[in-house]
Amino acid sequence: MTVNRAILGRPLRGVAFDAFVSATVALLGLAGMANQPGGGRATLVGAAMAVALLFRRVHPSAVAAVVAALAMVQVVAGWGPLPFDVAVLIALYSVIKYAHRLRDGVLAGIGAAVGVVLAGLQTPGAIAWWAAAIYYGLVTGAVWLVGLNVRTRRLYVLSLEERAATLEREREAEARAAVAEERTRIARELHDVVAHSMAVMIVQADGARFTLDRDPETARQAVKVVADTGRQALEEMRRLVGVLREPAAPDAQAGPGAAGAPGDAGATADPAHRRLALAELPALLDRFRAAGLRARHAVTGAPAPMPPGLELTVYRVVQEGLTNALKHAGVGADVEVTVAHAGDAVLVRVVDDGRGRPPVSPAPSGGHGLVGMRERVGVYDGSLTAGPRLAGGWQVEARLPLPSTSPTTEVTAA
């Protein structure tokens, strides 16, 4: 197990290395105190440079300025280049590598170039000043380029770490959004299952209650419809909740391209999680016929392939229209369901004549059937119209564009 230790908020390894560098510079100043120009005063300048280097990581620009000022003192005093002047190169390297802006490194390089010329002029010996200046310039330039290369690599690594952190945050955000979307979808599906099934069960239960003494056979049939509808609703609810409890299928994790369209429900190959499709509309109408509606079903045009989510939306619109007819028009009402394939869109129309037997008790208000239909239709840029007819009764009409077209229409309610 790796233990990360720190001193004053700085890594222990970095502090130890800086202390070693500073001690080395101080020893170079002490080693030549007896015979170097300036004697003890020059050693004090070297010690000051060594102390400044302790802060070269946290304040690189300030350290470079301090070391440059001390080197200028050395030049003004005429002591010439001394061994502890290696601190100038270390400060130059540090400001290039650690400064927030490269501009500080460029300014430090310009200052170092001036110092190279001054050091060449003060170098003792038979060698020409310009030759000494070239030598110092090559060493200083090499240090500057090494610092620039290390800085570039350091910033590149930091950018990769930041990018990785950003991608991780984005993945978490996408996961949260996917969970929220799935919860919304399940809530919508549960609402449809519960609302439609309960509406049928309430109507049939009220009918059975009032015909129990006069017509036991009719009451018995109504109770059977209640039981069958409750079983089917319970089965659908178990299937939806089971989708949430079970892990996703391998195909669903293949990548973004494997994701279904918005509103898909149980679009897996597992029969237990089969999706509701247009092929199940006759069975839906049979259940409402058993509940007392006189429903007719017509399909016009050549059916075109549709995404599973679009098929589910058509199914739910028909289901909501039939439920509204049963709740408001009453038992015995004539209802006509039409699904028209118009090439670029699917038209769904549910019309009732409003002439059924009125319900025993008023239909509960405050439902979200129309709101749910608008949301479903709006997902596919469709239009929804719902309202009373002049000839009596109620009409629900939805137009859903097929994926090959992309019209955008307003969702309105008459």
User: pLDDT by residue (tens digit) across 15-40?
Assistant: 888 889 889 888 888 887 777 777 78
More reliable by pLDDT, 122 or 169:
169
Task: Inform me whether the pLDDT recorded for 347 exceeds 90.
Answer: yes
Quick one: tokens of 37? Answer: 């120009």
Residue type at 284 in one-letter notation: L
Can you tell me the distance from the alpha carbon of 344 to that of 238, in angstroms, rounded to the nearest whole number? 36
Beta pairing class for 334-341 and 10-11: unpaired
Domain parsing of the chain, residue ranges: 6-124, 274-414
Q: Please give the average per-residue pLDDT across 267-295, as a whole number.
A: 72
**At the fourth CATH level, which superfamily is domain 274-414?**
Histidine kinase-like ATPase, C-terminal domain (3.30.565.10)
Beta pairing class for 345-352 and 394-401: antiparallel
Looking at residue 357, its pLDDT comes to 75
3-state class percentages of the chain: helix first, strand second, coil last, to nearest 5: 65, 10, 25
Confidence grade of residue 271 (pLDDT, cut at 50, 70, 90):
very low
Query: Are 317 and 396 spatial neighbours (Cβ–Cβ below 8 Å)?
Result: yes
Listed residue (197, 246, 249, 247) closest to 226, CA to CA:
197
Task: Inform me whether the pLDDT recorded for 8 exceeds 70.
Answer: no
Tell me the pLDDT tens digit for each residue of 78-106: 887 888 888 999 999 999 988 888 888 88
Quick one: tokens of 290? Answer: 């058993």
Q: Please give the average per-residue pLDDT across 289-302, as a whole number.
A: 88
Listed residue (7, 11, 15, 18) closest to 90, CA to CA:
18
| N residues, the chain | 414
Looking at residue 301, its pLDDT comes to 87
